[in-house]
């Protein structure tokens, strides 16, 4: 990665429909290589659709003027290569792993961008990588347990491990702390901070201010499919912008590098 690399993401005039409903409305934004950002917005704002559009699950309409839809300087991507290059962790993914599959197998499935292993050939190099990731995420001791016998927090770590097998330059986290209790939330934050300080950029999608780790300095506010704010978090994570974003009066409190909404 150097100063001449194209941005990670360049979107201009990206409009996406689900059926008749416009879910992304002429989005324009750029995210630099190596830059960590949080996309914050209420339920239904279009955040997941935005991520799924990056991953080429959805495509912008082309009949509303010129569109730029570029990842790492490229307009076209092999979808498998794209999904391997950028690790993604979402709740949908966690729900997909309901069968008897161990945490370690979940990590290994990242090599095939699959939900299970289905008799794929696992090379010794893949095994070594999975073990290294398990150790990094501090889940080596539970990696042979089935996913169905892990807590949400433990299972989430294996999904992060799955996303890390190709050593992605960007890790995309879509509502990563849903259903985590306070202990699991703390452990999760520590894990993401460790990954960020190891040089991986984080794109975090959330409606929880407290998910925004101190390493993320840029916040993009999304509402009704549009970007309604984009800038440094100390400006945007303030009473006015957050109250308007969620249509409820809140007071923002900052503590130890994290932001919390109170008083609603």
Residue ranges binding ligand ATP (CB under 6 A) = 18-19, 23, 41, 43-49, 207
Contact 241, 256 (CB under 8 A): no
Q: How far apart are CA 73 and CA 2, in angstroms?
A: 13
Query: How near is the Cβ of 135 to ligand ATP at its closest, in Å?
Result: 32
- Run of H or E residues at 161: helix 152-164
Contact present, 201 and 34 (Cβ < 8 Å):
yes
Please compute Rg for the chain using Cα positions.
19
Concatenate the DSSP letters of all residues of 35-77 into one string: --EEEE--TTSSHHHHHHHHTTSS---SSSS--EEEETTBS--
Distance CA 257, CA 10 (A): 29
Q: Six-digit token pair at 111?
A: 């090599």
Residue 168 · residue 200 · CB < 8 Å: yes
Angle between helices 152-164 and 182-197 (to 10 degrees): 20
At its nearest, how many Å lie between ligand ATP and the CB of residue 58?
8
Query: What distance lies between CA 37 and its chain's CA centroid?
Result: 10
Quickly count helices (H) and strands (E) in the chain.
9, 11
Which two structure tokens, joined as six digits, stand for 144? 């042979």
The whole-angstrom separation of Cα 132 and Cα 253 is 38
């Amino acid at each position: 990665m150097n100063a001449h690399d194209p941005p990670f993401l360049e979107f201009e005039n990206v409009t996406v429909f689900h059926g008749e409903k416009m879910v992304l409305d002429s989005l324009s934004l750029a995210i630099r290589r190596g830059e960590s950002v949080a996309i914050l917005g209420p339920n239904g704002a279009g955040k997941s659709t935005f991520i799924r559009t990056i991953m080429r699950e959805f495509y912008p309409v082309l009949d509303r003027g010129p569109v730029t839809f570029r990842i790492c300087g490229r307009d076209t991507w092999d979808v498998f290569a794209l999904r391997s290059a950028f690790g993604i962790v979402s709740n949908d993914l966690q729900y997909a792993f309901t069968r008897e599959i161990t945490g370690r197998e979940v990590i290994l499935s990242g090599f095939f961008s699959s939900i299970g292993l289905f008799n794929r050939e696992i090379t010794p190099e893949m095994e070594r990588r999975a073990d290294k990731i398990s150790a990094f995420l501090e889940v080596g001791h539970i990696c042979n347990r089935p996913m169905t016998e892990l807590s949400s927090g433990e299972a989430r770590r294996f999904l992060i491990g799955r996303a890390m097998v190709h050593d992605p330059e960007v890790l995309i986290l879509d509502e990563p702390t849903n259903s985590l209790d306070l202990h699991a939330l703390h452990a999760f934050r520590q894990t993401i901070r460790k990954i960020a300080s190891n040089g991986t950029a984080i794109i975090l999608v959330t409606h929880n201010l407290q998910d925004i780790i101190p390493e993320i300095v840029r916040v993009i506010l999304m509402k009704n499919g549009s970007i309604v704010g984009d800038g440094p978090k100390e400006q945007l994570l303030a009473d006015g912008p957050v109250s308007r974003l969620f249509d409820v009066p809140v007071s923002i409190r900052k503590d130890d590098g994290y932001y919390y909404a109170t008083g609603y």
